[in-house]
Amino acid sequence: MLITAGAGMGIDSGLPDFRGINGFWAKYPALLKLGINFEEMASPHWFIDNPHLAWGFYSHRWMLYKKTQPHEGFAILLNLVSTKRSFFVFTSNVDGHFQKAGFHENHILECHGSINHLQCFNNCGQALWSLPEDYKFSIDQDTLLAKDPLPYCPSCRGIARPNILMFSDASWDFVRGDEQKSNFTEWQNGNKFRSLTIIEIGAGIDVPTVRMTSESLYRDWDKNVTFIRINPQDFDSPPGTYVIKMSALQALRQFGKKK
């Protein structure tokens, strides 16, 4: 079984998907005043031009993801994959909620990285690291500016940044991502002659990496494939796909009942 998940997977946990401009600005009114949308804010240049604003944005997200618990659907999925011979998770979410829900790190590919891992902005050679669970950020709510001290590289003392693949990002440290890709490739090679079930959840069309991955494997897999797309809005799908026009949690609760 392959689980592919986009931002819609986290909405039922109470997380924003950041794709709707009005919803994004409602969450970050300071950015509305500045006229900065999500695509503009999610760019590495802010760590040079205005690192306090960059960390104001990302520290708010880090704290939000930390305090939010994965919804019931994660547990339903974990129970479901426990009945399978083998499984993998491919997700564009950077919140670490699959790991938080109990999925093993070696069976997850986070194609856009993780907010729970930091890197040196200058790529000085420092390996990725994580902030302590009890790390405290202080943010000015009116300006979204994080207050000093900001996270810094333990080796060169330069500015740190989340290990997230941002827009126009030439400095992303891809070492952890490459390890996850290697695990995913190994998993595919080890299972390519077995039947596959793909459950895609909440994968939108604005950044279509998850949808493209699901559809590519559905098209090219060597054995029989069952493809289930769960999405209340973006439900156009290849022929033969099972489409469930529900939110993640609504659909997964139905899976739990059937099991």
How do residues 104-120 score in pLDDT, each as one tens digit? 999 999 999 999 999 99
Per-residue confidence (pLDDT) for residue 107, from 0 to 100: 98
Per-residue confidence (pLDDT) for residue 19, from 0 to 100: 67
**112 part of the active site:** yes
Count of structural domains within the chain: 1
What residues of the chain score a pLDDT lower than 50? Answer: none
% of the chain at pLDDT higher than 70: 98
Per-residue confidence (pLDDT) for residue 112, from 0 to 100: 97
Residue 199: give its domain's CATH number.
Answer: 3.40.50.1220
Per-residue confidence (pLDDT) for residue 26, from 0 to 100: 84
Q: How many helices (DSSP H) and strands (DSSP E) are in the chain?
A: 11, 10
Per-residue confidence (pLDDT) for residue 21, from 0 to 100: 65
Buried b (16+ CB within 10 A) or exposed e, 163-174: bbbbeebeebbe
Per the structure, the complete domain to which residue 122 belongs is given by 2-258
Per-residue confidence (pLDDT) for residue 24, from 0 to 100: 84
Among the options 71, 97, 107, 112, which is catalytic? Answer: 112
DSSP-derived 3-state class of residue 197: strand
